């Protein structure tokens, strides 16, 4: 526990700093957009109505969806800028997060501001005209100062929303306090989840209090208070920017999707590159298809994917060749179509498998998927969030004639709990998962060979395809990791007690696989 | 001097007129009271003078120049205006409120400060009030500030829209007399809208009675008190007379 807290604190400056910078930039941009809109909308209902409607509409889009939608948009723009000016607009990380959060920040500011300006005392507005103010003077000397306290209240609401929602920036590759939450969720490390939530709440409360000080200063007409609040806020943002310079970004970027094995492998890869004396950044918690696109766009330099996933989701093939043929075709096709280099397979598979509690499987006499098909109408199948959308499920359903009583989706960690607590009877598990052995699960045979091979493979970005440092550091990993070792490393991180961090598991794996 | 020529204003595209074809001349240094029932158009007419309301037809001349020849805000800086709702700026101090028009015009700081102090004395408020906010003052004190603000940039014209409407009778009377005093002292051309005929009789040199957007009577208070062709005007002007008679009778009764 103590060491976990220690490791959580170790990354706090980076997570908090990035979170603060992202939120502050989004809020500043939000204010910069809202205030002119507010000024345009103050006199004209023709502007007011569509502006408020658009802002409200954006607010109803779930945060994570908004973040996810910006990614393909930016990817398209990135391709465009590359073609036009030879420079790629970064489509991952800061920019999509910033844009989504900025959109989110607009509504409270705009709505409060418009309400405040519309409710100003007409006698005062008329007096402003009567003493000879121009439209601009009325805005700057009367309307905005009088609306300021309520406008600030909107900024406060907005700030709290933005800080909370910024935790969702992690899956699009932007480091934030959400990294604690997403990593903790993956590794069932509730201390990390709580730590991330606590840090986000503390940040939101502190920001809210400082903004409240500004609001109070404006409402009571005590500029000193407002300046104090602003000064402390700016100092906080300034302090957040310091680690950014200190920690010198750049070097190699290692990616990882959102599960333990990916964290461990990213840590292992980073460790090996670092050993060559080059700086490394880890970008973990990436959405599954995001990772490949980011690699193809040179935003990642290296990560581990799985042959079946690439075959179906990237190359959109439906055939089912042998392990070796699939690897061979992947290598040539990925190189030709994306410039992505498939360096080699690590030596184990992380395939989808259908698994049951051993006792129940024995009792029902089910050892193969064909046998499962007969009992399926009485059983419930649980899977991760992606499985039911994958071609492998469609193929299983069709070839074996599977019809379950119900299908349930879980975040993959909870799926095993659901199986053990009998909420579901069958799960779509992963063959390299340590919990299969630990929970004594029965993995059902696939006699029709419907499930494609899922070899773990190292992928290099087009820019790094022939990078000698990367090749020298990573070639020893090829064929070096047998399934048993990967399962044990995964279980170290996933097990409910005596957990290890992915970094510790990666260290163990390096030793166990005789990688020096 | 203020001159209105055939001024009309409708708020419903010509279906009805708030002010209809008014021609009126207010000589320099005179004090004119506009009276009439609510809805008679007196406030609308007043607002056409400094273009708070733009007339649809007709023209307004200020000192011989057409009012629309200068930008509205420039015109308003030359014409003092006292509002019915007072309309002090709550986020500014009393000094900032009084000095607002000179500041908009761009007077030097020192001149503004001197003028503000002069005005607070003129409207009989202690100088200590200069740093206070409007919310800290009583209604009567606030309207004194309102008058000081209207006079700050040394206008030659003062427009007042029911300036004492919300005040208690004692304050109302005192402030009325002070206004008259300031009018004379600064040699202002004053137009005051009021529904209080007694106030009009006591303060103004000339009374204009309006009904349904038109002028129905126009004369010196004494002349109007002595009688008029229009029965409604007679009823209106009878009121102060009857009140005065009753007060006199009351005093004589006790005196006897």
Q: Which residues of A touch B153 (CB under 8 A)?
A: 132
Mean pLDDT of chain A: 87
Contact B124, B178 (CB under 8 A): yes
Q: In angstroms, what separates the C-alpha of A129 from chain B's closest C-alpha?
A: 7
Q: According to the CATH classification, is domain A252-350+453-512 in 3.40.190.10? A: yes
Give the CATH number of domain A352-443.
3.40.190.120
B11 touches chain A (CB under 8 A): no
Alpha carbons B23 and B7: distance in angstroms, whole number: 7
Which pLDDT belongs to residue A250?
59
Residues A354-386 pLDDT 10s: 999 999 999 999 999 999 999 999 999 999 877
Q: In angstroms, what separates the C-alpha of A118 from chain B's closest C-alpha?
A: 16
Task: Provide CATH 3.40.190.120 ranges for chain A.
Answer: 352-443
Q: Which residues of A touch B155 (CB under 8 A)?
A: none
Return the H-helix or E-strand segment holding A252.
strand A252-257
CA distances from B246 to A322, A380, B195 (A): 118, 99, 21
Residues A409-421 pLDDT 10s: 887 778 888 898 8
Which pLDDT belongs to residue A456?
95
pLDDT for residue B148 is more than 70: yes
Residues B99-120 pLDDT 10s: 999 999 999 999 999 999 999 9
Dihedral sign (CA A180, A185, A189, A195): positive
Which pLDDT belongs to residue A245?
47
Which pLDDT belongs to residue B127?
94
pLDDT for residue B241 is more than 90: no
Taking a contact as any Cβ pair under 8 Å apart, which residues of chain B between 18 and 47 contact chain A?
Answer: none
pTM above 0.80, yes or no: no
Contact A450, A319 (CB under 8 A): no
Q: How sure is the predictor about A246, in pLDDT bands with cuts at 50, 70 and 90?
A: very low
Higher pLDDT, A93 or B225: B225
Give the residue from B71, B79, B100 with the most A CB atoms within 10 Å of its CB, the best one to mutate: B100
Q: Once rounded to an integer, what is the mean pLDDT over residues A50-63?
A: 83
Q: Give the one of A123, A127, A131 whose C-beta lies nearest to B104's C-beta.
A: A131
Alpha carbons B125 and A188: distance in angstroms, whole number: 73
Torsion of CA A206, A208, A214, A219, to 10 degrees: -140
Q: According to the CATH classification, is domain A2-246 in 1.10.3720.10? A: yes
Which pLDDT belongs to residue A244?
54
Q: How sure is the predictor about A279, in pLDDT bands with cuts at 50, 70 and 90?
A: confident
Q: In angstroms, what separates the C-alpha of B82 from chain A's closest C-alpha?
A: 8
CA distances from A501 to A282, A485, B134 (A): 15, 16, 64
Alpha carbons B145 and A479: distance in angstroms, whole number: 89
pLDDT for residue A181 is more than 80: yes
Task: Provide CATH 1.10.3720.10 ranges for chain A.
Answer: 2-246
Strand extents, DSSP E, A360-471: 380-383, 406-409, 426-430, 441-443, 455-460
pLDDT for residue B185 is more than 50: yes
pLDDT for residue A116 is more than 50: yes
Q: Do B85 and A130 touch (CB under 8 A)?
A: no
Torsion of CA A191, A196, A201, A203, to 10 degrees: 130
Q: Do A132 and B104 touch (CB under 8 A)?
A: yes
- Per cent of chain B over pLDDT 70 is 99
Q: Which residues of B touch A146 (CB under 8 A)?
A: 90-91
- Report the chain A residue with the minimal C-alpha distance to residue B50: A130
B73 touches chain A (CB under 8 A): yes
- Report the chain B residue with the minimal C-alpha distance to residue A124: B87
Q: How sure is the predictor about A480, in pLDDT bands with cuts at 50, 70 and 90?
A: very high
Task: Provide CATH 3.40.190.10 ranges for chain A.
Answer: 252-350+453-512
């Amino acid at each position: 526990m103590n060491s976990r807290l220690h490791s959580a604190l170790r990354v706090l400056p980076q997570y908090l700093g990035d979170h603060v910078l992202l939120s502050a930039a989004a809020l500043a941009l939000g204010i910069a957009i809202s205030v002119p809109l507010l000024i345009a909308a103050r006199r004209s209902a023709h502007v007011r109505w569509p502006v408020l409607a658009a802002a409200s509409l954006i607010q109803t889009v779930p945060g994570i969806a908004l973040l996810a939608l910006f990614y393909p948009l930016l990817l398209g723009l990135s391709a465009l800028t590359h073609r036009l000016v030879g420079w790629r607009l970064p489509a991952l990380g800061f920019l999509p997060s910033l844009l989504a959060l900025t959109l989110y920040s607009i509504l409270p500011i705009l709505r409060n501001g418009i309400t405040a300006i519309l409710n100003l005392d007409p006698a005062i507005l008329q007096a402003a005209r009567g003493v000879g103010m121009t439209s601009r003077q009325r805005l700057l000397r009367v309307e905005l100062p009088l609306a300021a306290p309520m406008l600030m209240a909107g900024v406060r609401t907005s700030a709290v929303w933005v800080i909370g929602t910024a935790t969702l920036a992690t899956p699009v590759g932007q480091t934030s306090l959400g990294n604690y939450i997403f990593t903790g969720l993956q590794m069932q490390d509730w201390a990390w989840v709580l730590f991330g939530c606590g840090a986000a709440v503390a940040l939101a409360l502190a920001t809210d209090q400082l903004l409240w000080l500004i609001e109070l200063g404006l409402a009571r007409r005590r500029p000193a208070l407002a300046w104090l609040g602003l000064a402390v806020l700016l100092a906080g943002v300034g302090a957040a920017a310091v680690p950014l310079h200190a920690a010198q970004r750049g070097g190699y970027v290692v990616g990882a999707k959102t599960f333990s094995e990916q964290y461990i492998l990213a840590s292992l890869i980073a460790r090996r590159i670092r050993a060559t004396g080059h700086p490394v950044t880890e970008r973990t918690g990436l959405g599954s298809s995001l990772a490949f696109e980011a690699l193809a766009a040179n935003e990642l330099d290296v990560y581990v994917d799985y042959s079946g996933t690439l075959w179906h989701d990237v190359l959109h093939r439906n055939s089912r060749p042998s392990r070796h043929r699939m690897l061979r075709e992947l290598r040539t096709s990925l190189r030709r179509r994306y410039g992505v280099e498939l360096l080699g397979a690590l030596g184990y598979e992380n395939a989808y498998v259908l698994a049951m509690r051993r006792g129940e499987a024995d009792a029902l006499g089910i050892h193969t998927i064909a046998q499962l098909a007969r009992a399926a109408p009485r059983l419930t199948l649980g899977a991760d969030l992606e499985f039911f959308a994958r071609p492998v499920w469609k193929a299983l359903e069709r070839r074996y004639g599977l019809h379950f009583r119900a299908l349930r989706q879980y975040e993959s960690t909870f799926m095993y709990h659901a199986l053990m607590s009998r909420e579901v009877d069958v799960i779509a598990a992963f063959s390299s998962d340590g919990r299969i052995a630990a929970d004594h699960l029965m993995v059902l045979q696939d006699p029709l060979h419907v499930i494609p091979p899922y070899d773990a493979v190292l992928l290099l970005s087009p820019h790094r395809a022939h990078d000698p440092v990367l090749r020298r550091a990573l070639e020893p990993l090829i064929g070096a990791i047998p399934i048993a070792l990967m399962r044990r490393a995964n279980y170290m991180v996933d097990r409910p007690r005596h957990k290890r961090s992915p970094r510790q598991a990666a260290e163990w794996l390096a030793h166990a696989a005789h990688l020096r | 001097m203020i001159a209105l020529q055939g001024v009309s204003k409708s708020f419903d595209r010509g279906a009805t007129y708030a002010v209809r074809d008014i021609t009126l001349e207010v000589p320099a240094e005179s004090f004119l009271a506009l009276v009439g029932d609510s809805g008679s158009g007196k406030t609308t007419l007043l607002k056409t003078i400094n273009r708070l309301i733009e007339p649809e037809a007709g023209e307004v001349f200020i000192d011989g120049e057409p009012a629309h020849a200068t930008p509205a805000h420039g015109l308003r800086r030359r014409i003092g205006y006292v509002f019915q709702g007072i309309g002090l700026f709550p986020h500014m101090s009393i000094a900032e409120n009084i000095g607002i028009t000179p500041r908009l015009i761009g007077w030097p700081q020192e001149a503004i400060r001197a003028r503000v102090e002069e005005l607070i004395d003129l409207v009989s408020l202690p100088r200590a009030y200069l740093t206070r906010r409007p919310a800290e003052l009583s209604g009567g004190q606030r309207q004194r500030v309102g008058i000081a603000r209207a006079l700050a940039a040394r206008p030659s014209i003062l427009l007042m829209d029911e300036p004492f409407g919300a005040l208690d009778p004692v304050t109302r009377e005192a402030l009325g007399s002070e206004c008259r005093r300031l009018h004379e002292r600064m040699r202002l051309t004053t137009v005051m809208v009021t529904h209080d005929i007694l106030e009009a009789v006591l303060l103004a040199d000339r009374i204009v009675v309006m009904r349904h957007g038109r002028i129905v009577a126009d004369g010196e208070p004494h002349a109007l008190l002595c009688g008029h062709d229009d029965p409604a005007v007679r009823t209106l002007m009878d009121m102060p007379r009857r009140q005065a008679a009753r007060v006199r009778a009351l005093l004589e009764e006790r005196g006897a």
